[in-house]
Structure 1
C-alpha cells in the first residue's frame, strides 16, 4: 500500500460505467473542498457505497483514523459542493470527506472511541490534503482550501463548524502544505528542487530522471531507482504525474529534465492541411496523443466532434497511444489531437 505524507493511501476507483453519474467531466482542479460525512462509517465503507450507487453525489477521497481511500480520479469532477452543474466546487476542486464525525444518538457531540477515531481522522486529513494539493500543483491558501459551507452555505464540515474549529483546520492544512513544499517531509526520499523542470514535454522526448518516478499517474508507489537515467516519454495524461518515461514509471514535471527533443519524424505538419470527416458518433479532441489526456476546453464547454463533422488535419503523429492497433494521431483544426482511425 502506498501512502500520502505518512498516511496509508489506496485507490478504490469508480467503474467507467458509472462516470455519467459520478464524474462526467474532465477536470483540472485549482482548489480543495472539505467535508465531513455526518456518520460513523469507515473510509472504505464510505467509498464502497459512493461508487456503487448511481446517485449524482460523489467525492474524491475519504479519510478515517487508519487510511485514506480514493474513489474518483483527480482528473474527473465530483458532485460534492452543492454549487450547481458549473459551480467551482463541483467542477474545479478536489473533494475530501473526513469520517467518524457523527453519531445518531449524540449528533456531533461524540465521545469515547468514536471521538478518538475522529480526532485521528482529522489529523490524517491535514496530512493527506496538504500532500495531494502539493502533488496536484494546487497552492494551499485561504482562497483554495474551502469548506462545503464556503461553496454553497451548507453546514459542513458540521462538527468542525459546530465546534468552531474550521478555521484552525484550514490553517493547519496550509501550514502542512508549506512545510512539505519547503522540504520538511520526512518521507521526501532525498528529493531536491529541480532547477530545470520539464513544462512542455512531448511524446518521444528524451528526458533525464532527476527525482522519483511513480507506479501510476496519480502518485502511487514512489521509486528513485531510475534517478539519473535517461529515457523517452511514452505517454502524457492529465494527472499531476503526467509523463510516462519508458515503462519505468510516471513523472511530475519537477521529476524530469529535457535531454533531447523528439525527432521531427514523430510529429509533422502536412504541407497542405487535409480535410477529413469524423466517422464515430462522438469524438473527443484531446490535448495530447492519449485517451487519458484532458479533453480540449472551449468557451462553451469541451471540444467534442459529431459524426460527419469536417475537420482540417493540421499535424500528424505516429507515436501516440495505440487505438485499434494504430499509433497514428491527427491534430484537427489546430485545437488538439484525435486518433486517426476515426477520420476518413
Structure 2
C-alpha cells in the first residue's frame, strides 16, 4: 500500500477521533468538491469541528490522517453507530465535476482499499458506502457511475494482490495476442478506466495495435488491457494494414451523464446542429449507441418534440469522453 501518513496532532483526538476502535471494514465517501487530497487534509487538521476521516485520495496520492485504531466521525449514524465507531473512512476527491481526475482518483482508491482488505483479511463484503449508514446519497459520483462497478474494480485489484486474478492470461496467451487476433472483452474497464458497457462484451473484435500490455480494438477504437481479453482466434503474425473501422449501431437502453457541454444534433453528423445543449451535470436517457460515425461515438434518444436526437459521447481521434453511461 502506498499511503502517505500525515496524522493529526494528538491534542485533536478528543474532537476528531476520541475512541479506540478495532476496524470492521471500510466506508467510501466522495468529497463533493474538486480540492486535491492535500487540501482536504490541511483543512481537516486546521479546524476544530468533529467531521473527520482516515484517508483522503486523489489522482496522485493517498494520505492517511487518522490512525486506523481510532474512530472518525464520517458516517452520520451517531455517537455509537457502526459506521462512526467501526469503519475506516475513505474520501475520494475531485467528485464535484467528475471527469478524468475523478476516474483516476477512483482507480487509486480501488488499489488502496484492496490493500486494506488484504491487510485485514477482509473480503469485498467489508466495503460499505456512506449511504449504508445514513440516508445521505454518498458517495454521490461513485453511485451515479455505478456502485457495483466500483466494487468490481476493488475486487480485481484484490485478486491481483492475492495472485488469483482469473482474467490474467498465461504467457502463451500473451504471445498469441497480436495484430489481427480476434478477441472478446471479458474485463470491467477500458485502459482509460471507463466502464465497459454490456453490449461491448457480446461481440468479437480485431486487434489493430499492440502496445505493451494494451491492445487497440479496431471496431470500437478503444484501448483494452490484454489481461481483459479472451482469444477467439490468434490471427496473423504479420502486421496488418490499419483500415478505417466501420460504423455500427447497437440497441442499448441507458442513462448518459455529461461532463461537458454537448449539442443535440438531428443526425450523427457535425453539421446537423440544433439549438439544444446538454450541460455538465445533466443527463439523457438513450436507446441506441452508434460506434465510429464520422470520427465519434454517439447516442441516440427520443426528444420531447417527438423527433430523434443524437449526441456525441466520445471523440475517437483524441479518446476524450464527454461523460459516462450508467
State TM-score, norm by structure 2.
0.49
After TM superposition, the score normalised by the length of structure 1 is 0.46
